[in-house]
Amino acid sequence: MTSTDVQLMAHLMRRAGFGTTRQKLDELVETGYDETVEELLDAVSHPSRLTDNLIRRYHPEYSGMMGNQSAGGNWMYRMISTDAPLREKVGLMWHGIFATGYAKLANGKVLHDQIRMFERHGMGSFKTLLIELSKDPAMIMWLDNSENHNGSVNENYGRELLELFSMGVGNYTEKDVKEAARAFTGWTFGNTEYMTLKSMRDSVWPYGRLSFHFEYKEDDHDNGEKEFLGHTGNLNGEDIVDIICKQPATAAFLSRHIYSFFVADEPPVPEWPYKKPVDPAAIEALSKVYFDSDYSITEMLRFLFKSDFFKSEDARYKRVKSPAELMAGVLRLTEEFDRPKIDMNPTNLQTSYMGQWLLNPPSVEGWHWGTEWIDSGALVERVNFASERLGNLESPGVQSLVDRILASSDSLTAEQMVTSALDELSISAVSDKTRSALVDFAEAQLSQSNGDSNGEAERLQVANVLKLVGATPEFQRA
Amino acid sequence: MTTQTSTARITYSRTIGVAAMEGRGFYYPWAGAVGSDGKIYILGRGSDSDPRGVRVTVLNMEEEYFGTFGSFGTGTGQAIWNAGIAIDSKQRLFTSDEHMNRIMVRTLDGELLDTWGETGTDPGQLNGPNGITFNSNEELLVSDHLNGRIQKFTTEGKHLATFGEPGSGDGQLTLPWGVSVDAADNVYVADWGNDRIVKFDADGVFLANLGSPGRNDGEFNAPSDVFVDPDGYIYVADWGNQRIQVLDSEGTFVQLHRGESTLSKWAQEFLDTNTEENAARNTANLDLDLEFNTDDPHEQSAHIEKYFWGPTSITMDNDGHLLVVDSNRHRVQVFDIASSD
């Protein structure tokens, strides 16, 4: 096992997961890189430690999901406890692209159902995913397809399907938008009037929320001839998705999203028509896999994780962690939610202070990722959150980290303490400036030793160094 | 899944209650108890993001409303995670708080009389008390769920006995929830984590395991509560399967019920004053026949309003009605019990 192996594995686990401990990294390196990639891709077979039953038992609102925080809290539990982190990461990616929010729906359960749909289909065929998305009641209500009728077309879903979900602007015409919308007439949710009214009124009466279900209304579907992207016929929604998936623009658009999420931050999507990709060759290679694999997301990810452009040292720490990724990574380290606790709700809400309220995005465009996560207010929240949690000696995970750092040497110097702390948090490299600041801080900690013989002072010193590591640019990035 | 047998021990009678963040109604009701005057006391769990539901709502079977008491918090008389409720022969109301590890004692008007309970794992200490019930000696049995055991106390909180231990073997419990006694003071525990009912004698000696994990007749998924009627029939809130099951006194399957809620008086009053919503509701099909992508009955219950969705507690009123607290639907479904003749 070389340090290069460990660093590469740490990179993989930051991107395909939420990071991990040095102890776990050593096990994964023994397993091997390619085998670990396969295990990550084989996501469905791994159960979550905190089961649905366990979460529902303690938090009934995480079961009934009437309010605007429960579906996000439920998801955070899964992110921090799953043995299949890639499935949750892919879910986060799709939530960012197909951003759907509580503000209009007033129903947490329908959003939860959408995320579960991403978990089922998010790593399969992109074509299947787009069809499921088109049938998803949350999306139907979010983009008004329940108002898209034969003879009275609402273009909202047809437009966003092309602009934000598959091809990107500049690759279709206004007529294509209209024809796509016509093809999706009749794609709605059941009990349309009642469910819409309950959402508009934010009604929980008489007996809480009702879950939505998809319904295709043949008598409200426009069966006339349509012309879409050069194809003519009595096209229905499935035909539109089929044509979209065949487009090179779709392959490039999807590849750029996947690259941006897993390799290096791209500029915000609205800038894509005017700015070239960070790595055009990578986008081209991913696009080829897309077509060769019949639109398989899993095959694109397999290729990506095994590619040189992903493994390159230049790719490391090139992504700013989204607030949800940051929180999930920290809470996995601290292990403070070994079972459901009442603290989850206020904890999860802190992602909103960092700029990302899960399942409540600012608009249909979702969030602008990358360095736009960082502004002065959000940075303070991010640093405070990571530092407070990583320095809390009451958390079992922090206790384990401190134990291992203290065991790394009989008498830790400041240098050793910093090296070991970074190692335990799987941070393979920091800038000279960061290291220097950390070592200065550790030296100051050590100089305050009071001869305490029970070891509590030493444990606090190490915890304080972990706190500061949580504030470093390297920890805030992936 | 079998839906119903021809041997009907219970038949649906009515629904009481309605969703309400505060005041008249329930907000994630969790457990219920009935006073000697027939008043029903519904303990509310509430939502972590809106704790107004942490209260006791008082009503009767005719849905006369008598007010609420209790609130969210760590102060005197407050609760964080309301869990269990029971009334003693002196008509004092006992509630458990599985977060604060304490038992509160009140008058039926809500006046706080006493608070007891100490956090820990030693005998007499509590770690997550939830289901509570009295035996014929007026001793309070507490499901000490994170300690995986049942503890017995006097009404003043003096520790009397401890039985059960964490695990899945005979006499062991995993995250037990509801607890009940029969006429002989045998103790029945909803062994939530082991998908079964565990029966102990009055001294805590293991007698039997009832049921096994699954979704078929007589099988359980994470049962939340158990109740034994005077004839010895055992009623199980089969929480993870979103249904009620009835067993005979030997533990043999008799009947299951998915729930068939109708509009309560309070629900009807809401709809009568919200005519637009009422009109839209009347055009909706609420008895859906859908295909689901999971075998988890949770999804069926989320879509089909009449079904139980999170049945957390079973108790009986003084007239022999079975009351099932239907938590996610913020109501109580009431059943008639067939005569044993």
In this complex, do B285 and A56 lie within 8 Å of one another by their Cβ atoms? no
| H/E stretch holding B267 | helix B265-273
Angle between helices A456-470 and A396-407 (to 10 degrees): 110
Tokens read off for A147? 């108002």
What's the CA gap between B32 and A397, in Å, rounded?
A: 39
Phi first, then psi, for residue B117 (nearest 5°) are 130, 135
**pLDDT tens readout for residues B38-77:** 999 999 999 998 999 999 999 999 999 999 999 999 999 9
CA distance A10 to chain B (A): 35
What's the CA gap between B217 and A171, in Å, rounded?
A: 57
Q: Which residue does chain A place closest to B266, by CA atoms?
A: A206
Say whether B266 sits in a helix, a strand or coil: helix
Beta bridge partners of B94: B86, B105
Among A57, A61, A206, the residue with its CB nearest the CB of B271 is: A206
pTM, two decimal places: 0.96
Q: Which residue does chain B place closest to A343, by CA atoms?
A: B48
Tell me what percent of the residues of chain B surpass a pLDDT of 90. 95
Tokens read off for A69? 């925080």
In this complex, do B222 and A57 lie within 8 Å of one another by their Cβ atoms? yes
What's the CA gap between B158 and A180, in Å, rounded?
A: 72
Q: Which residues of A touch B131 (CB under 8 A)?
A: none
Tokens read off for A103? 């503000």
CA distance A356 to chain B (A): 18
CB-defined contacts A:B, below 8 A: 117
Residues in chain B: 341
Q: Which residues of A touch B240 (CB under 8 A)?
A: 53
In this complex, do B327 and A64 lie within 8 Å of one another by their Cβ atoms? yes
In this complex, do A60 and B298 lie within 8 Å of one another by their Cβ atoms? no
Average pLDDT over chain A, rounded to an integer: 95
In this complex, do A193 and B284 lie within 8 Å of one another by their Cβ atoms? yes
In this complex, do B310 and A64 lie within 8 Å of one another by their Cβ atoms? yes
What's the CA gap between A135 and A94, in Å, rounded?
A: 15
In this complex, do A193 and B280 lie within 8 Å of one another by their Cβ atoms? yes
**pLDDT tens readout for residues A179-195:** 999 999 999 999 999 99
Mode of pairing for the β-strands spanning B322-326 and B331-337: antiparallel
**What b/e readout covers A371-407, taking b as 16+ CB neighbours within 10 angstroms?**
eebbeeebeebbbebbbebbbbeebebbbbbbebbbe
What's the CA gap between A459 and A445, in Å, rounded?
A: 11
Q: Which residue has the higher pLDDT, A409 or A327?
A: A327
pLDDT beneath 70, residues of chain B: 1-7, 341
Residue type, B232: G
Q: Which residues of B touch A213 (CB under 8 A)?
A: 288, 290, 303
What's the CA gap between B198 and B209, in Å, rounded?
A: 5
Residue corresponding to tokens 């366990």: A54
What's the CA gap between A381 and A387, in Å, rounded?
A: 10
Among B48, B192, B330, the residue with its CB nearest the CB of A342 is: B48
**What b/e readout covers A21-33, taking b as 16+ CB neighbours within 10 angstroms?**
bbebbeebbeeeb
**pLDDT tens readout for residues A227-264:** 999 999 999 999 999 999 999 999 999 999 999 999 99
**pLDDT tens readout for residues A437-470:** 999 999 999 988 766 667 889 999 999 999 999 9
**pLDDT tens readout for residues A281-331:** 999 999 999 999 999 999 999 999 999 999 999 999 999 999 999 999 999
pLDDT of residue B1: 45
In this complex, do A194 and B81 lie within 8 Å of one another by their Cβ atoms? no
- Rg for chain B, CA atoms, rounded: 19
Mode of pairing for the β-strands spanning B78-79 and B71-72: parallel
Q: Which residues of A touch B263 (CB under 8 A)?
A: 206
| H/E stretch holding A57 | helix A52-58
In this complex, do B19 and A206 lie within 8 Å of one another by their Cβ atoms? yes
In this complex, do B49 and A70 lie within 8 Å of one another by their Cβ atoms? yes
Average pLDDT of span A422-449: 92
pLDDT of residue A428: 81
Phi first, then psi, for residue B25 (nearest 5°) are 135, -170
How distant is the alpha carbon of residue A219 from its chain centre?
38
In this complex, do A211 and B290 lie within 8 Å of one another by their Cβ atoms? no
**pLDDT tens readout for residues B266-281:** 999 999 999 999 999 9
Which residues are CB-neighbours of A103 under 8 A, at least 6 positions away?
A68, A360
Q: What is the predicted ipTM?
A: 0.96
Q: Which residue does chain B place closest to A193, by CA atoms?
A: B280
Beta strands in B10-109 (DSSP E): 10-16, 29-34, 40-44, 56-59, 65-69, 71-72, 78-79, 82-87, 92-97, 102-107
CA distance B23 to chain A (A): 14
In this complex, do B303 and A210 lie within 8 Å of one another by their Cβ atoms? yes
What's the CA gap between A19 and A88, in Å, rounded?
A: 13
Residue corresponding to tokens 């942490």: B54
In this complex, do A53 and B221 lie within 8 Å of one another by their Cβ atoms? yes
State how far the alpha carbon of B83 is from the alpha carbons of A57, A207, A251, in Å: 11, 21, 53
Tokens read off for A203? 């009604």
Q: Which residue does chain B place closest to A198, by CA atoms?
A: B277
pLDDT of residue A45: 52
State how far the alpha carbon of B225 is from the alpha carbons of A238, A336, B32, B130, B239, in Å: 47, 29, 11, 10, 8
Q: Is the pLDDT of residue A43 over 80?
A: no
Does A206 sit behind a cis peptide bond, omega within 30 degrees of 0 on the bond before it?
yes
**What b/e readout covers B112-129, taking b as 16+ CB neighbours within 10 angstroms?**
eeeeebeeeeeebbbebb
Q: Is the pLDDT of residue A125 over 80?
A: yes
Q: Which residues of A touch B296 (CB under 8 A)?
A: 52
Contact between A460 and A450 under an 8 Å Cβ cutoff? The reply is no
Contact between A123 and A87 under an 8 Å Cβ cutoff? The reply is yes
Q: Which residue does chain A place closest to B130, by CA atoms?
A: A58
Q: Is the pLDDT of residue A345 over 90?
A: yes
In this complex, do B288 and A61 lie within 8 Å of one another by their Cβ atoms? no
Average pLDDT of span A378-399: 97
Q: Which residues of B touch A66 (CB under 8 A)?
A: 47
Mode of pairing for the β-strands spanning B159-163 and B149-153: antiparallel
Say whether B1 sits in a helix, a strand or coil: coil
pLDDT of residue B2: 43
Q: Which residues of B touch A342 (CB under 8 A)?
A: 48, 80-81, 99
pLDDT of residue B100: 98
Residue type, B100: M
